[in-house]
Amino acid sequence: MQPLDASTHPFARLDPDAILNALQARGWQADGRLLALNSYENRVYQIWLDDGDIIVVKFYRPQRWSDEQILEEHRWSQMLAERGLPAVAPLVRDGQTLQHHEGWRFSVSPRRGGRAPELDDVPTLERIGLLLGRMHALGGRPLFRVRPTLDVRSMGIEPRDWLLEHAAIPPSLLPAWRAVADACLEAAQEHMLAHAQVRTVALHGDCHAGNILWTDAGPHFVDFDDARNGPAVQDLWMLLSGHPQEMQIQLEPLLRGYQRAFDFDAGELGLIEPLRTLRLLHYSAWIARRWDDPAFPQAFPWFGTERYWQDRILELREQLGAMAEPALQMP
């Protein structure tokens, strides 16, 4: 895919002066130092203040979330922090967590560093499981009202349709990709319907190792940007990796910790591979939709090539097989 003119993208005008001016307008006095952090969907910076404090500033991608949807995320992380869970919530300034300046929307959070958790360590998995159980116990009823719910339509059908409508797949591979994508969506929908009775909870939404930072005091959760309602297992399966036997071993301490705080429905284990399949389809569409953002061609130079889509076809075929296999088992 060919990138559009990078100068036309909204983030092109978010230069250091614009960042520091936005902060100053809302009462944060920076000393001029800033460091861009690893983020593609939004723009996130570590900023040093005159008083010696360090903050993290997130500038939200225009037209992705409404103000109401962003505020739902903020209330969720705030509630978790207030109840003693290690969630990094935005700071309040003049009664607001969502700040506005010259068309930009941004939030400011305290800096909380850390390293990725060691997911091959049993006590680490058990502790993360306990914290997720506590999180879901607090969000044990559908919490979000204006954010989309995690389902096959929003995470699979709509991304597939967008890719087709925008001719993102090379013509030579389109029939093969379309056939396997359609088959995967049909299988995922069958699984979701078979488990329609599964409880819906408020989720972190993107709970992988990169969004759990570990310190000597333990872990804390960051980046609730994808928070929404959905099945609890969505916040668990991205912490599992490897062959089914390896995932089964990792699952045991994770659920042991989880069930100390909240009940887990064994039926949700049948949703792991359908949810993985939806994430793969959504991921390809996410990159394609962001291609006019200059950060994306730079970060994903291989995207859109025939080799990329050949690999996606093989990946989806593997997912068809995985969805047909028996689910992981409760410990």
Is a pLDDT exceeding 70 seen at residue 3?
no
Sequence-ordered strand ranges (E) for 141-259? 200-203, 212-215, 218-221, 228-231
Q: Domain with 260 in it: what CATH number?
A: 1.10.510.10
The domain of 30 spans 6-110
- Last residue of some domain: 58, 85, 110? 110
47-59 burial code (b ≥16 CB/10 A, e <16) = bbeeeeeebbbbb
69 and 213 fall within a common domain: no
Give 239's pLDDT tier (boundaries 50, 70, 90).
very high
Mean pLDDT along residues 205-221: 94
134 and 259 fall within a common domain: yes
Is a pLDDT exceeding 70 seen at residue 4?
no
Tell me what percent of the chain is helix, strand and coil, each rounded to the nearest 5: 45, 15, 40
The pair of three-digit structure tokens given for residue 216, joined into one six-digit string: 């000597």
pLDDT at 7: 58
pLDDT at 6: 53
Position 92 in a domain: yes
311 and 211 fall within a common domain: yes
- Last residue of some domain: 110, 137, 153? 110
Q: Can you give the C-alpha Rg of the chain in angstroms?
A: 21
Position 330 in a domain: no
Mean pLDDT along residues 121-144: 93
23 and 162 fall within a common domain: no
Q: What type of residue sits at position 195?
A: H
| Cα 32–chain centre separation | 30
- With tokens 């909240």, the residue in question is 262
**Partners of 221 in the β-ladder:** 87, 212
Give 143's pLDDT tier (boundaries 50, 70, 90).
confident
186 and 315 fall within a common domain: yes
Please give the mean pLDDT across all residues of the chain: 95
Is a pLDDT exceeding 90 seen at residue 164?
yes
Identify whether the C-beta of residue 211 lies closer than 8 Å to the C-beta of residue 235.
Answer: no
- In the residue annotation, 311 being an active-site residue is answered as no
- The predicted-structure confidence for 167-204, as pLDDT tens digits, reads as follows 999 999 999 999 999 999 999 999 999 998 999 999 99
- In the residue annotation, 206 being an active-site residue is answered as yes
37 and 102 fall within a common domain: yes
pLDDT at 331: 85
Among residues 151, 223, 235, 293, the one annotated as catalytic is 223
Is a pLDDT exceeding 90 seen at residue 22?
yes
Q: Domain with 70 in it: what CATH number?
A: 3.30.200.70
189 and 223 fall within a common domain: yes
Give 141's pLDDT tier (boundaries 50, 70, 90).
confident
71 and 207 fall within a common domain: no
CA angle 174, 178, 184 (to 5 degrees): 150
Higher pLDDT, 142 or 10: 10
What is the number of helices (H) and of strands (E) in the chain? 11, 9
Structural domain count of the chain: 2
Mean pLDDT along residues 247-260: 98
Position 117 in a domain: no
Give 113's pLDDT tier (boundaries 50, 70, 90).
confident
